[in-house]
Homo-oligomer: A and B are copies of this chain.
Amino acid sequence: MWPKTHLTDLPGVKHPIIQAPMAGSTTVELVAAVSNAGGIGSMGYSETPSATIREDAQKIRTLTDKPFNLNFFAHDAPANKPEIIESARERLRPFYSAAGLSEIPQDVSKPLLTFTEERLELLLDIKPPLVSFHFGLPGSAAIESLKKAGCRILCSATTTAEAISLEQSGVDIVIAQGWEAGGHRGSFDVNHDDHGVGTMALVPQIVDAVNIPVIAAGGIADGRGIAAALMLGASGVQMGTAFLSCAEANVSDVHLEAIRNARDDDTRLTKAFSGRPARARRNNYIESMAAQRLALPDFPTMYTLSDPLRKASDDTLDNRFLLYGQAAALNREMPATELVQTLVAETRNLLG
């Protein structure tokens, strides 16, 4: 029933279901459970120290002998005009005051790590079976080294043009990330308006445009979504939100409760927390910042500026950065092993 792909060709991979990286919400236990169940677990990293990543990989390998994926943001270093940072501070001030905070971070010089030479050396040492990138790719030398080391390279594309450029850069598998997806959009360039291509339209166009396998992502919540993605020509799926309700996920009570009450239209894209468009639960902060429609500092400077505000959030949704996709209302709360088994059974049942 499953099409043969680079993914199911990998020894140990039975089901072309990738649990999406979701930096901060994923645990090594979640990754190992998904990989042990025959899917592919992914850890997502942004500013995590390399020592932690090394420990994580060791831990994953004690928990499973199956393939897993490590994910990294490959964004440019921020290049902020001081006046943009100043205006962001102005806009943040009332939210900080209302939250009883006085100190908006002054030091925004330390960006979250981009994909550095140190990261590359680390990965060449760890040799994870799969390495995926978001926001584009690191340089071609890095890609070449990783491939030589035996890593399969995956990267997100939000348009057909991005997918074509990924294939030309030597990526093994492209992740077609549709508009519905929760979390950060993988768009390479965020300096132009993004009107968002939906998964149903995006996947077949990318499938037609490239000769590498295509993984569908965005709005896929259950076996129906997986079967639909396969019909569109995808070789598998990447699902994030669905795994947020697994016992192994690192998700706050407020986040879990928001997902329990989720509606199809209660999220929107926002740059107001990180500086890059991400799909998150709508709230007062997000709507207010969007209404002002001013330029914001680049990712991840805006993340630094909003950090204390997010962390000081009370039990309401007001200043929370709660990432999930448009199909969160279909989530089931169960251990990851059971979720993978359920997804496979549902898909098999539909594909006959």
Chain B interface: which of A58-66, A103-111, A128-136, A260-268?
A260-268
The residues of B that contact A200 with a CB separation of less than 8 Å are 178, 180, 198-200, 218-220, 225, 228-229, 327
A269 close to chain B: CB less than 8 A? yes
Chain B interface: which of A24-32, A201-209, A310-318?
A201-209
Number of copies: 2
Chain B interface: which of A70-78, A189-197, A300-308?
A189-197
The residues of B that contact A208 with a CB separation of less than 8 Å are 330
* CB nearest to A262 among chain B residues: B205
Q: A180-B197, A196-B196 are in contact. List 9 more A-B contacts (CB 8 A).
A: A159-B263, A160-B263, A160-B329, A198-B200, A198-B218, A200-B200, A201-B326, A201-B327, A228-B232
Tell me whether A221 and B198 are in contact (CB under 8 A): no
The residues of B that contact A228 with a CB separation of less than 8 Å are 200, 227-229, 231-232
Q: Please provide the 6 A-B residue pairs with the shortest distance between their CB atoms, ordered closest to farther.
A: A201-B219, A200-B219, A198-B198, A201-B326, A228-B228, A227-B231
Binding site for B on A (CB under 8 A): 159-161, 178-180, 193-202, 204-205, 208, 218-222, 224-225, 227-229, 231-233, 263-265, 267-269, 282, 293, 325-327, 329-330, 350, 352
Tell me whether A161 and B197 are in contact (CB under 8 A): no
Tell me whether A195 and B267 are in contact (CB under 8 A): yes
Cα distance A100–B315 in the bound complex, in angstroms: 58
A266 → chain B, closest Cβ, in Å? Answer: 9
* CB nearest to A265 among chain B residues: B159
Tell me whether B352 and A268 are in contact (CB under 8 A): no
The residues of B that contact A233 with a CB separation of less than 8 Å are 224
Cα distance A268–B326 in the bound complex, in angstroms: 19
Tell me whether A199 and B198 are in contact (CB under 8 A): yes
Tell me whether B224 and A265 are in contact (CB under 8 A): no
Cα distance A196–B264 in the bound complex, in angstroms: 9
Cα distance A179–B264 in the bound complex, in angstroms: 12
Partner of A201, one of B202, B231, B232, B264: B264
A200, A221, A282: residue with the most chain B Cβ atoms closer than 10 Å? A200
Tell me whether B221 and A231 are in contact (CB under 8 A): no
Tell me whether A222 and B197 are in contact (CB under 8 A): no
* CB nearest to A205 among chain B residues: B264
Tell me whether A180 and B204 are in contact (CB under 8 A): no
List 7 contacting pairs A-B, 8 Å CB cutoff, sorted by A. A159-B264, A200-B218, A204-B222, A205-B264, A208-B330, A227-B228, A227-B231
